[in-house]
Amino acid sequence: MQKSELQQQIIAQIKAYDTIIIHRHEKADPDALGSQVGLAEIIRASFPAKKVYTVGMNTEGLDWLATMDQVTDATYKSALVIVTDTANTPRIDDQRFNQGQALIKIDHHPNDDAYGDIQLVEPDASSTAELIFDLQASSKELHLSAAAARLLYAGIVGDTGRFMYNSTSAHTLNVAADLIKQDFDQTLVNQNLDTLTPEQARLSGYVLAHMTILPSGAAYVVLSAETLTALQISVAQAHAVVSLPGKLAAAQAWAIFVEQAPNNYRVHLRSKAPIVNELAKAHDGGGHPLASGARAYSEAEIKAIITELDQLVQNNK
């Protein structure tokens, strides 16, 4: 089905429901929050009588961008549910997403988990925020408020690494240009996205000092719970260093292992060229070709991921 047809189906569903609840993935990043709450602000500006809610856990360090609503179970009974920026159902923050009357998926990850009655999925898009902008731009009935523009801009800037990643297209830049025509302070958004706490700054130093770079260009660092405690940093705050190894010329692809509980590590996989999402899928994860997440449940699995990443980079040469 063509994108325009899917957009019109989504708009028809939005118009048909008085109550709309919008979800996104757990441990939200700027694109998850930007697309989720940006869509909510578009709907509120376009249809003021509708009840629109955003749900999930509030995200440490991103409360300047958006905070969530509290929604009762009963509210879902007559609601349209929309999930943004979430590839698979286990990652949806607040598992009541399937309690509504209809379900829509809007996402830019590979559609390996094809959930939802309507699925608008474009893996080549820079961000889900870009897809939300396109949805709004496809209809004269949807209005872009300054509040929505701020959120969508933050989502695009966050997921493109400030327009550095190869997912950035001419269309992405045109969308950003249209967004900053609205009345919000894009400089402040950029500054907030680029700000590190003192704890995150110490963690950055630790990562650069302790990262191992193999001869292939594969790199890795393990952040144990003990290390995070010593640096006075939370698991959520550790996300600030995920892209940092990319500044090193020798690092071609890298894994950052963050201990969340004993024998449970969140694995951040990033790459300049080698495709890493199949590696992520093999270890309880997935994502984009050059930016994925996985899990490691033992030191042996950590070593296995490092070995596989090393081979992956070698094979890419």
What is the pLDDT at residue 299?
Answer: 95
Can you tell me the distance from the alpha carbon of 317 to that of 313, in angstroms, rounded to the nearest whole number? 7
What is the pLDDT at residue 317?
Answer: 76
What is the pLDDT at residue 1?
Answer: 83
Can you tell me the distance from the alpha carbon of 228 to that of 231, in angstroms, rounded to the nearest whole number? 5
> How confident is the model over 114-128, as pLDDT tens digits?
999 999 999 999 999
Residue ranges in the chain modelled with pLDDT below 70: none
Class of 198-316 per CATH?
alpha beta
CA distances from 304 to 59, 184, 200, 288, 308 (A): 31, 47, 28, 21, 6
Q: Read off the pTM.
A: 0.92
94 Rama sector, left if φ>0, alpha if ψ -120 to 50, beta otherwise: left
- Residue limits of CATH 3.10.310.30 in the chain: 198-316
For the chain, what's the residue count? 317
What residue has token string 């650069």?
A: 208
Gyration radius of the chain over CA positions? 20
What is the SS3 assignment for 43? Answer: helix
To the nearest 10°, the Cα dihedral for 131, 133, 134, 140? 150
Dihedrals phi, psi of 291, to nearest 5 degrees = -150, 105
Say which CATH superfamily domain 3-194 falls into: inorganic pyrophosphatase (n-terminal core) (3.90.1640.10)
What is the pLDDT at residue 236?
Answer: 87
What residue has token string 């892209």?
A: 243
Can you tell me the distance from the alpha carbon of 7 to that of 67, in angstroms, rounded to the nearest whole number? 27
